[in-house]
Structure 1
Amino acid sequence: MEYFLKHRHATWLELFFDLVFVSSIGVVTHNLAHTHNNHLTSEQIWLFPLQFIIIWWIWTVHTLFSNRFNHDNRIERIFSLTIMFLMIVMAAFFGDDLFQNYPAFVGFYAVIKLILVFLFFRASNQDQHSVSYARKSGYVILFGTGISAFSIFMETPLREIILVSGILIEMLGIYLVSTRNLEKPKPVHREHLVERIGLSSIILLGESIISLTGTLRSVNWDILSIVAAVTGFIMIGLIWWIYYDSFPVNERIKSMTNGFPMLYSHLFLAMGFVIMANVIRHAILNDLNMNEFRILAITGMSFFYIGKQTVYIVFIPPFRKRMTINTLVCIFITIASTFLPKIEYALVGITIGMLFYTFANFKFILTKDISEYVTKE
């Protein structure tokens, strides 16, 4: 596959990779799905972001490589399939007993990252336009993986801090390599990047539907359960509508040359989707106390807004003020809704807030002239 191929699309293997990514996320999501006497344990809460960011970062590094260097040849296919298999096995260690198998888990994670390092080094020998970028990116990933792997010698909580620190160092290092490098790498392929993020997001929304379906199989049907189920689907539909209706604009943003605002904000978007799926689940089952439901709902909605809006706020100034106002109003409605007497009522209120956000975006934001900031269709 040629990098500058017009109308380039994600390969079938990349779509397969996304499915494995989301299946691994599904295992992590399980941490927030089950309550103990109407409570989530502290271990469930902090294990969720820890495990989530690990899977997301593997997906992100693979996407960074594929966007600039993927030729869809046999060697790259074999290594991508190997990563997918290792991700499936690694996901088997996720859950409350993660640290009972921690060395094995870190071992699988390190091997996956070393394969990605090899792919970047290999690309530096094949692509003369981005030799320095590919090689330095490989070294950054190698360094960060070494720091994360060192966590096996530590005890909690230092173990978790070192594990995540390795990822954060990689995130910062690859960004600096892309933006501060004297040998400027070729720009990100916008159309391909937007498509990869859009496809992974729609699959994550699909997981919300699967979660909704599974929840309905075990619910005790009454009027409040029916209201919560209908409201939950409306919420998912509204999220899809407002997210994807303006999504094609991302492909045309003139100043988005490295893609990092979109890539890194995808972490919040993906986590927001997963958290909101659990918010809907707990509202239908009515199996979570209101204080913890409130935290999940506000966090999930906030993450969704961060993930959805970052690119527009960074690159399209006319959107900034109104998006900020819409978000504050919606978060206020979300907070106020969680003080209603029943958890099902709270979900209805949160959905009304999303309905307002959707209407306000179509009325006050998508009508603005942004021709100065985007290419012609």
Structure 2
Amino acid sequence: MAEATSRIRLRVRMSARPIDEPHRVTSPLELLFDLTFVVAVAAVTAQLAHQIADGHALEGIVPFLQVFFAIWWAWMNFTWFASSYDTDDVIYRLLTMLQMAGVLVLGAGVSAAANDSDYRPVALGYLIMRIGLVAQWLRAGVEDKANRRTALRYAAGIAILQVAWILLALGVMPSSTLLPLFVVLAGLELAVPRWAERASPTNWHPHHIAERYGLFTIILLGESVFAATTGVEGALQNAEISGSFITIAIASLILLFALWWLYFLQPAGEALSDRRHRSYLWGYGHYGIFAALTALGAGLEVAVEQTGHALKASPITVGYAVAIPASVFLALLWAVHAPLVAKPVIPLAMVLSCVALILLSPLAVGWIGVSGVVAAIATACALLIAATITRQATGRLGY
């Protein structure tokens, strides 16, 4: 029997894909696109870890959130467009490759942005990505007559804001206005989809979107594993194997596994299908979830590193570098899912109790050390899973 082959066409007329398309899954091209973000996320994680270790955690938070917003928003733009208009023809693939090139340039510019507040390389990467994205929306506007106004609104909004980002990166504005202007432009970026889709909503696929977010969550968890491994390698090279080192290594793995488990306890596909109008809160809320996972990777790297040699950062700072991201992840995970379902899988009281335990753990660092703090955080998350599973087994769900 002849082996089936997939024939790729040069051009397929771009039209909105069906919302209820059966068996819609992430394409190999989308998986490849996601992998380009590994470089950018690894770079921003490493920069934050260095700043935490050097005792400059507070100074590093704003640059981290700014650069991560650029990374996250670039991924968001492509993901939601692809859910509606992925034709998988040659033109679409080449324009996606152009956006991937922009992501790599952005990743290369993370160091300059974090260390020298030089956002020109990041802006260049964004420009490259936006050229590909605007071209995709213009193509949709030409070929999908039913949603032409929406597509052209997206193209116009993205292009105009990109000009503003370039002016901001070139330093034509006073330095004292850079942060306020960043906040304003970021807000306008978030407003573009709401404005564009007033003309007509795009046909994003709820199960496809839920899967895409889940896969990106796994990528970020993988980055946290890599960051923790970097700390482990440093300790091994210095022959600094101790009880606290082993405790942190094991607890870090348990913590990351627990967060993965908690994220996938509440499937989002059906909920997004039933409440499409609440997708903005769910989608935008993941900025905090994704940023928290990335920051957690930096915190775990520093926590492992401090077992091998003394750092400028105090032990309580290192403890909170793990506790705060873990708490933010749990709180936002509940917050983005609660509006989508009648009864969240994890009750709010249980989430808040777990968050409280996590945030109190670093206060005991003088008695249990950083390793004990990480172990306590991992234990709290594991107990949250156990309590949730018990409630599910007994049929008790609710707030």
* 1:265–1:306 contact (8 Å) kept in structure 2: no
Which residue type is aligned with residue 247 of structure 2? Answer: V
TM-score by length of 2: 0.83
* 1:28–1:51 contact (8 Å) kept in structure 2: yes
Which residue type is aligned with residue 17 of structure 2? Answer: Y
Corresponding residue for residue 251 of structure 2: 231
Corresponding residue for residue 62 of structure 1: 78
Deviation at 1:306, TM superposition (A): 4.2
Structure 2 residue corresponding to 1:359, chosen from 357, 382, 386: 386
Corresponding residue for residue 129 of structure 1: 146
User: Residue 347 and residue 100 in structure 1: after superposition, are their counterparts in 2 closer, same or farther (change >3 A)?
Assistant: closer
Corresponding residue for residue 160 of structure 1: 179
Corresponding residue for residue 373 of structure 2: 346
Deviation at 1:167, TM superposition (A): 2.5
Corresponding residue for residue 299 of structure 1: 324
Which residue type is aligned with residue 319 of structure 1? Answer: P
* 1:32–1:40 contact (8 Å) kept in structure 2: no
Deviation at 1:280, TM superposition (A): 2.1
Separation in 1 of the partners of 2:186 and 2:131?
14
Which region of structure 1 is more displaced relative to structure 2, 244-253 or 346-355?
244-253
Separation in 1 of the partners of 2:392 and 2:152?
41
Alignment of 1:96-175 (within 5 A): 96=112, 99=116, 101-151=118-168, 152=170, 153-175=172-194
Does residue 285 (structure 1) correspond to residue 310 (structure 2)? The answer is no
Deviation at 1:277, TM superposition (A): 1.7
Does residue 87 (structure 1) correspond to residue 106 (structure 2)? The answer is no
Identity %: 20
* 1:194–1:251 contact (8 Å) kept in structure 2: no
Deviation at 1:104, TM superposition (A): 4.2
Deviation at 1:353, TM superposition (A): 1.6
* 1:22–1:203 contact (8 Å) kept in structure 2: yes
Deviation at 1:40, TM superposition (A): 2.6
SS in 1 for 2:111: coil
Does residue 194 (structure 1) correspond to residue 210 (structure 2)? The answer is yes
User: Residue 63 and residue 331 in structure 1: after superposition, are their counterparts in 2 closer, same or farther (change >3 A)?
Assistant: same
Structure 1 residue corresponding to 2:353, chosen from 329, 335, 357: 329
Which residue type is aligned with residue 250 of structure 2? Answer: V
Deviation at 1:215, TM superposition (A): 1.7
Deviation at 1:189, TM superposition (A): 0.5
Separation in 2 of the partners of 1:25 and 1:234?
22
Unaligned runs of 5+ in 2: 1-11
* 2:85–2:140 contact (8 Å) kept in structure 1: yes
* 1:279–1:296 contact (8 Å) kept in structure 2: yes
SS in 1 for 2:201: coil
Deviation at 1:138, TM superposition (A): 1.8
Deviation at 1:106, TM superposition (A): 1.9
- Note the aligned Cα RMSD (angstroms): 2.6
Separation in 1 of the partners of 2:43 and 2:121?
17
Deviation digits for residues 141-197 of structure 1 (CA, Å, limit 9, x no counterpart)? 22322322221212434223323422220212312433xx2x432442011111111
Which residue type is aligned with residue 185 of structure 2? Answer: G
Separation in 1 of the partners of 2:273 and 2:190?
23
Separation in 1 of the partners of 2:206 and 2:174?
42
Deviation at 1:365, TM superposition (A): 6.3
SS in 2 for 1:318: coil
Separation in 2 of the partners of 1:137 and 1:368?
44
User: Residue 330 and residue 94 in structure 1: after superposition, are their counterparts in 2 closer, same or farther (change >3 A)?
Assistant: same
Alignment of 1:204-243 (within 5 A): 204-219=220-235, 220-243=240-263
* 2:323–2:358 contact (8 Å) kept in structure 1: yes
Which region of structure 1 is more displaced relative to structure 2, 5-14 or 289-298?
289-298
Separation in 2 of the partners of 1:294 and 1:32?
15
Deviation at 1:41, TM superposition (A): 5.2
Deviation digits for residues 221-277 of structure 1 (CA, Å, limit 9, x no counterpart)? 101111111111111111111212333655664112573233212211211111222
Does residue 76 (structure 1) correspond to residue 92 (structure 2)? The answer is yes
Alignment of 1:8-27 (within 5 A): 8-27=24-43
User: Residue 56 and residue 36 in structure 1: after superposition, are their counterparts in 2 closer, same or farther (change >3 A)?
Assistant: closer
* 1:205–1:236 contact (8 Å) kept in structure 2: yes
Unaligned runs of 5+ in 1: 371-377
TM-score by length of 1: 0.88
SS in 2 for 1:317: coil
Deviation at 1:3, TM superposition (A): 1.7
